[in-house]
Structure 1
Amino acid sequence: MSCHPYAVLAAQRLLPVLRSADAGQAERATRELLGAGCRAVELTTSTPGWARAVARAAGMRDARGRRAVIGVGTVTTTAQAEDALDAGAAFLVSPYPAPEAREAASRRGVPFLEGGFTPGEIAAAVRRAGAAKVFPAHVGGPDFIRSLRAVLPDALLVPTGGIRPGEVRRWLDAGASAVGIGSGLPAEPGELAALFAELAGPCCGQEC
């Protein structure tokens, strides 16, 4: 039995968010990340040809031979959600509350990491799915995550937006389950692998 995407995110603790110039660039970046010890990668609908990139990335394997866990972000409509799921997405992500995408994901039985910024939006997403993307995270900072964690102790919280790789540990220490990073990841393969190795936490206990 394979791990739930949220278990993979919680173990990986850093979620790369790829906004690429085209599908080919997204595929190459995904392959590099997987080779460096990453397993879960978020591609976004802002990339031209993104559905093709998702379909190809979904068949890739990580450095341990496990199937990649490919998410699609910036999903806010039914059409985007259906296209992402048809392409093989393992989970969907939105930057803000997105009822259309939420309903499509629920209908297809795929996890939806719904975005929110206010405590009410975040709590509503957690009530529905046990998880929420906190966006834009840099506005509230790590202390905002610490306050959210106090009232949502069991939630999977993934702050994203304006966070640099060197700051990830501060967010994790504040209570983030994983941190979304859109830019600034090391280009050198060894440095990238070291970053994932440093941040990785325990998985769910099963072979995933």
Structure 2
Amino acid sequence: MIGQDVAFSKVTVILRRVPLEAARVIALQMTKSRIRSMEVSLVTGDALDIIRTLNDEFGDALSIGAGTVRTAEDARGAIGAGSSFLLSPVGFSQEIIDVAKEAGVISVPSGFSPTEIATMFDMGADIVKVFPASRLGPAYLKDLAAPLGPLPLMVVGGINAQNVQDYFDAGASYAGIGSGCFKPEDIASLNGAGIARSLAELEKKVRW
């Protein structure tokens, strides 16, 4: 129902073109944190294999889903690989939302304007991703809530440890933060300790 948050992690780490071995190190460290949701973007060449592998290894502790889902074929492939949620930088067709509902996975299409956001909810989306959120700023969420009431919105795009709580304070229910929250050298060298430190710093910035 619109206005009620669904069972979804408050913070999702978004991986785009991150190789499997690095994704595995990140996932392992996430199991020791309060950040328990990972999106693997389908722009990653072997995204479905990565999603499948991460679900096999960490699915009991983490929610692993697919990003940049744009077609019903994308949705079915991601669900077949074990995705528990589907995100996109654009709106979903009714077919994609129906595919998600039939499979029991969470649908998170994007919207930018009030009309786009409301349309996605009217079509049955569980959460709507406000993207790119940083172009609008936290106050935009308050502007939306004034006429539409509280909505299960996820902010993505320019969200980081420094500003994420500002968006939660303004009414966001969820946030997606890219792999830029980690030091590139930690990802490249598979430095689990460094990745754990970055996750801990992010956790400190969020009021859970």
* Superposition TM-score, scaled by structure 1 size: 0.82
Q: Deviations over 1:43-94 (max 9, x none)?
A: 11011111111111113348xxx53111111001111111110111111111
d(CA) in 2 for partners of 1:77 and 1:110?
15
The range that moved more, 50-59 or 28-37, is 28-37
**Aligned counterpart for 2:200 among listed residues 178, 189, 193:** 193
Q: Deviations over 1:144-194 (max 9, x none)?
A: 111122233342100101122211011111111111111431453134124
Give me the CA root mean square deviation: 2.2
Paired position in structure 2 for 1:67: 61
Paired position in structure 2 for 1:164: 160
The range that moved more, 88-97 or 33-42, is 33-42
Aligned length: 191
Tell me the amino acid that sits aligned with residue 84 of structure 2: A
Tell me the amino acid that sits aligned with residue 195 of structure 1: L
Percent identity, please.
31
Question: Which runs of 5 or more residues in structure 1 are unaligned?
Answer: 202-208
**Aligned counterpart for 1:176 among listed residues 163, 172, 178:** 172
CA shift for structure 1 position 198:
4.9
2:97 is equivalent to residue 102 of structure 1: yes
d(CA) in 1 for partners of 2:201 and 2:158?
22
Paired position in structure 2 for 1:54: 51
- Contact 1:96–1:116 (CA under 8 A) maintained in structure 2: yes
d(CA) in 2 for partners of 1:102 and 1:195?
31
Tell me the amino acid that sits aligned with residue 92 of structure 2: A
Q: Secondary structure at the match of 2:31?
A: helix
Paired position in structure 2 for 1:42: 39
**Aligned counterpart for 2:108 among listed residues 110, 113, 125:** 113
Question: Which runs of 5 or more residues in structure 2 are unaligned?
Answer: 184-193
Paired position in structure 2 for 1:87: 81
d(CA) in 1 for partners of 2:207 and 2:69?
27
Q: Secondary structure at the match of 1:170?
A: helix
d(CA) in 2 for partners of 1:199 and 1:49?
32
Tell me the amino acid that sits aligned with residue 206 of structure 2: L
